[in-house]
Amino acid sequence: MSIRHRLAQRRLRRRDDAAWIPTRWALWAQPGPVLGYVLAVLIATALLIAGTFRVAPITSGDWIRLIVLAAGSAVHLEAARDIERLRKVGAEGIPYTNLKGMWTFAGVLILPPPLAVLLIVTTYVHSWLRVRRVAPYRSVFTASTLILAGGAGAVVLAAIRPGVYPGYPSGPLGLIAVVAAGLAYWFVNYALVAGAIMLSNPDSPGRNAVGRLTDQLIVAGSLGLGVATAALLLSQPWAVAVLLLTILGLHRALLVDQFQAAARTDPKTGLANAAFWHEIARREFAAAERTNSPLGVLYLDLDHFKTVNDTYGHLAGDQALQAVADELRHEIRGNDRVGRLGGEEFAILLPQTSADDTALAAERIRRRIENLSVTITTADGAVRCDTLTCSIGTANYPDTATTLDELQMAADLAMYHAKDTGRNRVVRG
């Protein structure tokens, strides 16, 4: 591993400490609402654990199944450890999702409650030791949310199929019981984690606490795999090893692609970041040269955007950037490419577009931004911001330039000329 790569990983690990709770390690040093919320969850978890020891007797078969599930979880985590470290950094400020449910939910279905709790605890201790050593109370809190979620799932399962739990229910009613238990398990964990994020980051948009839909699909998939793991463990235990091997391959393929996509995306706007946009530009320019077709480039800079940040704060500025990004997405065609170069500057590629059509597209975008009205959240409440304008520079291959560097420089210079001559205008390079 290169020195540069090691330094980059260290920077990523430092950033992870801000994921959802402030970085100080002592629980009692947290803000009052966070402290009260975490303590309430921990107390509820302690009461639930105390009640589990009066439920069902534990057999030697239960211990064997616990060992198999714990071993499967450990092997799974070790095989995907590097990916999970990077994904956890990428989950800064939003719910961090993983495939642990494949093992923990299987334990909830078929293990006596004390062993299901032990499985969750050992899984998260291993994760803390091997993936990321964040403040201990954060890992304890996360494990506690899973224990409470498991308790909710167990209650639902036992209510629908009394006398079967712990165990794997059969038949149509058993299917209903398992699905309902999975929903209860997911909802309790999701709600508790989202609540922690909102309390810890009161100034962040609420959608950050909700997280991404694609991540929740990963959670749903992990719970479905948990159902399959439990069924196999009761009927064909040897098949769990085959299932683990299959999941390891899918995990790496799925999550490496997801991480690569995240590495190419600007986190504030969801657009292509500067590095990825320039990579796309090189490809599109090579295609234009090869096919002798025109290519348009727009460089766009928001006018006086510093005023928005100074007046309403940087979080409000981020909301305005997101709104501008949404407008750009709606205005461009399916094969156009838009990216954020940094700050309040954006770039758009328009393949197979003449100089005149590029200028027309730029003017449509300019008018769209000029007419944009954004509701932003400030310390004093919601405020309407309708003063955004932009300056746009255009350039075209082959009319303006015959190399990519010259094309981008021409668009950049035209954009600055637009700003120097009054702003809120389009200048052709």
End-to-end CA distance of the chain: 44
Main-chain dihedrals φ then ψ at residue 358, nearest 5 degrees: -65, -45
Last residue of a domain, one of 217, 244, 263: 263
Task: Kindly tell me if the per-residue pLDDT of 4 is higher than 60.
Answer: no
- Does residue 11 sit within a domain? no
In the predicted model, what is the mean pLDDT of residues 307-325? 84
Task: Kindly tell me if the per-residue pLDDT of 366 is higher than 60.
Answer: yes
- Does residue 2 sit within a domain? no
- Does residue 1 sit within a domain? no
Neighbours of 352 (CB within 10 A): 16
Do 240 and 353 lie in one domain? The reply is no
Do 325 and 291 lie in one domain? The reply is yes
Task: Kindly tell me if the per-residue pLDDT of 14 is higher than 60.
Answer: no
In the predicted model, what is the mean pLDDT of residues 315-324? 86
State the pLDDT at residue 426.
94
Return d(Cα 75, Cα 311) in angstroms, integer. 52
Residue 346's pLDDT band (boundaries 50, 70, 90)? very high
Task: Return the top range by mean pLDDT from 74-83, 153-162, 190-199, 348-357.
Answer: 348-357
Residue 202's pLDDT band (boundaries 50, 70, 90)? low
Domain that holds residue 63: 16-263
144, 41 in Cβ contact below 8 A? yes
Do 97 and 212 lie in one domain? The reply is yes
Do 237 and 206 lie in one domain? The reply is yes
Do 203 and 294 lie in one domain? The reply is no
Q: Which residues contact 64 (CB under 8 A, 6 or more apart)?
A: none
The CATH number for 323's domain is 3.30.70.270
- Does residue 186 sit within a domain? yes
Do 232 and 305 lie in one domain? The reply is no
Do 249 and 303 lie in one domain? The reply is no
In the predicted model, what is the mean pLDDT of residues 330-348? 88
State the pLDDT at residue 163.
76
Do 155 and 257 lie in one domain? The reply is yes
Mean pLDDT of the chain: 80
How many domains does the chain fold into? Answer: 2
- Does residue 8 sit within a domain? no
Do 95 and 201 lie in one domain? The reply is yes
Neighbours of 73 (CB within 10 A): 25
Last residue of a domain, one of 213, 235, 263: 263
In the predicted model, what is the mean pLDDT of residues 411-417? 93
- Does residue 4 sit within a domain? no
pLDDT per residue over 134-175, tens digit each? Answer: 677 778 888 899 999 999 998 998 888 877 777 777 788 888
In the chain, % helix, strand, coil (3-state, to 5) comes to 65, 10, 25
Torsion sign over Cα 378, 380, 382, 387? negative
Do 110 and 133 lie in one domain? The reply is yes
Do 205 and 331 lie in one domain? The reply is no
Q: What are 1's two structure tokens? A: 């591993």
Torsion sign over Cα 129, 131, 136, 140? negative
State the pLDDT at residue 413.
93
Do 244 and 291 lie in one domain? The reply is no
- Does residue 367 sit within a domain? yes
Q: Is 162 helix (H, G, I), strand (E, B) or coil?
A: coil
Last residue of a domain, one of 263, 288, 321: 263
For 62-114, the DSSP string reads HHHHHHHHHHHHHHHHHHTHHHHHHHHHHTTTS----STHHHHHHHHHHS-HH
- Does residue 269 sit within a domain? no
